Chain A
Amino acid sequence: MGEIEQMKKEAEALKTQIEAARKAVHDTDMASAASGVAPAPRVQLKTRRTLKGHLAKIYAMHWSTDNRLMVSASQDGKLLIWDSHSGNKVNAVPLKSSWVMTCAYAPSGNLVASGGLDNMCTVYNLKTPVIKTVKELDAHTGYLSCARFLSDTEVLTASGDTTCALWDLETGKQKTVFLNHVGDCMCLSLSPDMNSFVSGACDSLAKLWDIRDGQCKQTFLGHTSDINAISFYPGGNAIITGSDDCTCKMYDLRADQEVISYQDAALNSGVTSLALSMSGRLIFAGYDDFNCNIWDSLKGEKVGVLSGHDNRVSCTGVPPDGMCVCTGSWDSFLKIWN
């Protein structure tokens, strides 16, 4: 057992080394550095649309790249495709398993995906005369918490089995498996250049991965509970996370550490979801307390609230053109605000 003891010692020494290296570059934090920046305007958004149609809790939503269509998933066993401008439902996709936890729109607009407690990611073609199941991606040994399309031929998934995976849609097989988390993976976000992604997990860690070689490149500490939501900052040099510990945090990738925490003593509900405005200045974070709080990402101050849901806000999303924010809730409604 001497070898294991030695390795444990080396692991502890490396962790100490990493902590020291982070401290050495920690010459300020984001809020102090942003003291000269003009405050963000007080943000008062109005509900422009309330999308009614789901019959049970909404768990996920995702915007199409056309800034108009969006997909939502509910435990009523359906995916609904909405035209957000008219508020009309364009398509309904019945799911084999109603225990859905995630949905995604392919950048092309041709495909959508869903998954959940069935441990699978099912991909549907929206463009055939009748919506058809294209593939069932079946290899995870735990629930599917998040899925994102890289293209019409590649999908990234995060799972309760503690792994993430890159799938080839033509073969239906995993091309790369990302192993390193020791808790259920809950969320993922693709980098703007599509060469890497970040994942958040129940081990309270966020990790940065190289998509092609599967290597975990960086690990971000700081949260004290499950990370439920994660997003790349536009520009790709930072990430924002949201956690059951009731805080959101920004980690800078190049400084390799937490640079600001978005929290308030009065807030004691977990963060379920988050989305960023186009410039990254505003963070829209959904909480268990039925609200969506708006944070100034540079100064760490709360600058607005979106109140209107009658139950937990489970998902948020900003379309690529940044024209609005959509919130989805366990109250079965989606709301569009700007």
Chain B
Amino acid sequence: MSGSSNIVAMKKIVQQLRFEANINRVKVSQAAAELQQFCIQNALQDPMLTGVSSSTNPFRTQKVCSFL
């Protein structure tokens, strides 16, 4: 019977829960507003939102022009 190791394990669980219970929590409305602001501020720099023009797209296959 590992009675004492069960006690040690339980103590750790309680200690961890006490720690987590004590943190400050911000209202979801405030947290959400700041997240939105971050997204919107950075939207113009986000190539997946603005699209990538073929002239600046490093993954666009280069078409070769030949003079006839």
Contacts and interface: CB of A to CB of B under 8 A. Distances in A.
The judgment on whether A and B are partners is yes
Interface of A: 1, 3-4, 7-8, 10-11, 14-15, 17-18, 21-22, 24-30, 33-34, 37, 40-41, 43, 45, 48-49, 68, 84-85, 180, 215-219, 233-235, 237-238, 252, 254-257, 259, 277-282, 297-298, 318, 321-325, 336, 338
B46 A322 contact: yes
B29 A323 contact: no
Contacts of B43: 279, 281
Given A255-B28, A298-B39, A336-B59, 12 more contacts: A3-B7, A4-B6, A7-B7, A11-B14, A18-B20, A21-B21, A218-B20, A234-B42, A259-B31, A279-B45, A280-B38, A322-B48
B36 A298 contact: yes
B59 to A, nearest CB: 4
Contacts of A17: 21
Interface of B: 3, 6-7, 10-11, 13-14, 16-21, 23, 25-29, 31-36, 38-43, 45-49, 52, 57-61
A121 to B, nearest CB: 26
B29 A33 contact: yes
B45 to A, nearest CB: 6
A84 B42 CA distance: 25
5 contacts: A25-B27, A27-B29, A29-B32, A279-B46, A324-B59
B39 A280 contact: yes
B10 A4 contact: yes
A281 B48 CA distance: 9
B48 A7 contact: no
A11 B26 contact: no
8 A-B pairs closest in CB distance: A48-B59, A279-B42, A33-B32, A14-B17, A279-B46, A277-B48, A254-B26, A7-B10
A318 B47 CA distance: 11
B17 A15 contact: yes
Contact of B36 (A34, A255, A257): A34
Contacts, number: 166
Contact of B31 (A254, A282, A325): A254
Given A8-B10, A33-B36, A85-B58, A257 B28 contact: yes
Nearest to B6: A4
Contact of A28 (B25, B26, B29, B58): B29
B14 to A, nearest CB: 5
Nearest to A24: B25
Contact of B32 (A3, A34, A180, A280): A34
Contacts of B20: 14, 18, 216-219
A20 B10 CA distance: 22
Most buried by A among B27, B48, B52: B48
A21 B16 CA distance: 16
B10 A256 contact: no
